Each structure stands twice: as C-alpha cells, then as structure tokens.
Amino acid sequence: MERSVIRLIHCQKDIFCFSVPEECPSCGEELRGSRLQEAPVSLPSPFTNGHKSSCCLLVAPAHDNQNREFDGTSDLHTGISNTKGVVFNYTQDGVRRDQSGWERCVSVPLVRPDTFHLLAQWDQYMDRFSDAPTWDPAWHRFDKDDHNCFSFCLRYVNSVLAAEGRSALTRETFTHSFILPRMKRVSKYTTVYQHIQRHQYYVVDRQEDVTTSVGQ
C-alpha cells in the first residue's frame, strides 16, 4: 500500500521518486551507468505501527477521518501504548484499549530502553491510571478542548515523571518539543509523497537542510 520514497542527487538537484528513472527528470541525462553523485537512498517513513511500539505516545488522525491520512488539517487523536502494543486512548466513552486501528501513526518514545524498573511497571501504571474516575464518563465529562485525549496522555506522562521524581511538563512544552517537530516531518513527507503520486517526481534544488529534514 505504501511505497518507499527514494532520493537521488543529480545536477545539483534532489530528486524524490518511487523508482529510479532512466533519465534525470531535471536535465534529461541518461542515468543508467552514469555518475550519480551518491547512491540513491530510501527515505524512512515517519509512520510506525503503534501496536508494535511499546511505551510510546501515539498520534493518529481522529477516528471519524475515514481515509486515515494526515493532510495537516484533520483532527488528531492521541494515545499511549503499553508494552504489549495495546493503545490506551481517552474518548467520550471513556478509555479505550485498542488492539488495532493504530497501524499508521506517529510515535514518540516515552521511556528510555534502559529504564527497566519503569518498563516493568508500565502496564500496571497504565491500567491503574486509566481506571481512575477522572476518565470515567459517569464521573467526569469529556471536553473536546480541556478534557480530551491529549489531556489523558499529558496527565499520564506527568504521573510517570512524578513517580520518577522529575518535574511535570506543561501542555505547551509537550506539544512544542514532542509533537510538533514530528508532525512537521509528517507533513513534509506527505507533501513529497503526494507530489510523486501525481507527477512521478519531486525535484528541488539541492539544499542540505531540506533533504535532511525530510529524510530524518
């Protein structure tokens, strides 16, 4: 379903495509056997399978967005995975524990792989946290601005930080340092991807920063 994006460099251009063309789409020179400045590289997709990434904050398009594409404007839905790839996410009906549906999302690791004590307790933390009355629709109403999926994730992250003796993150810090940089990458990648789908190539003047930020 998803093809991988390849980048090659020719005549001072970055050329993004799904397969290496016979001729350079920019200057027309034959590419086969010719001197490419560097071997073509494939760009890593910014998307991951949320059910295969444990202890991550996950960002996905909202459930009512059927085509599940990030177009930069669709509402985002956030959740947190446990060590078994179950995604806990807060909705109007309370906390859902999804075993599927988060196959294509952006993940933000929340735990360093060497913090064994935290990993060992993660699933228990998640269960206990999710069972609190705050997230029970009978006790507390969902609010799309103030008490939503993101509040759930942020409160969870902060409760883990508190248990670790570390200070809490504000909504702004959390958004700006963890979510926005990744969403920017997604949006760049999506732009390039859709352009290739429509026009076969995406060609830009070679600029170190553009290439690296798309490719990271």
Nearer to Zn ion, 11 or 169 (CB): 11
Nearer to Zn ion, 23 or 103 (CB): 23
Structure tokens at 156: 């969870």
Q: Report residue 25 CA to chain centroid gap.
A: 31
**Binder among 26, 48, 159, 187 for Zn ion (CB under 5 A):** 26
Nearer to Zn ion, 68 or 206 (CB): 206
Please compute, for residue 182, the number of CA atoms within 13 A of its CA located in the half-sphere on the CB side. Answer: 19
Is 20 a binding residue for Zn ion by CB under 5 A? The answer is no
**Binder among 20, 27, 62, 120 for Zn ion (CB under 5 A):** 27
Q: Residue 88 contacts by C-beta under 8 Å, 6 or more apart in sequence?
A: 79, 80, 81, 82, 95, 96, 97, 98, 126, 130, 152, 156
Is 7 a binding residue for Zn ion by CB under 5 A? The answer is no
Task: Name the segment binding Zn ion (CB under 5 A); options: 8-16, 33-41, 77-85, 185-193.
Answer: 8-16
Burial class (CB in 10 A: 0-12, 13-18, 19+), 190: middle
Which residues of the chain form contacts with Zn ion (CB under 5 A)? 10-11, 24, 26-27
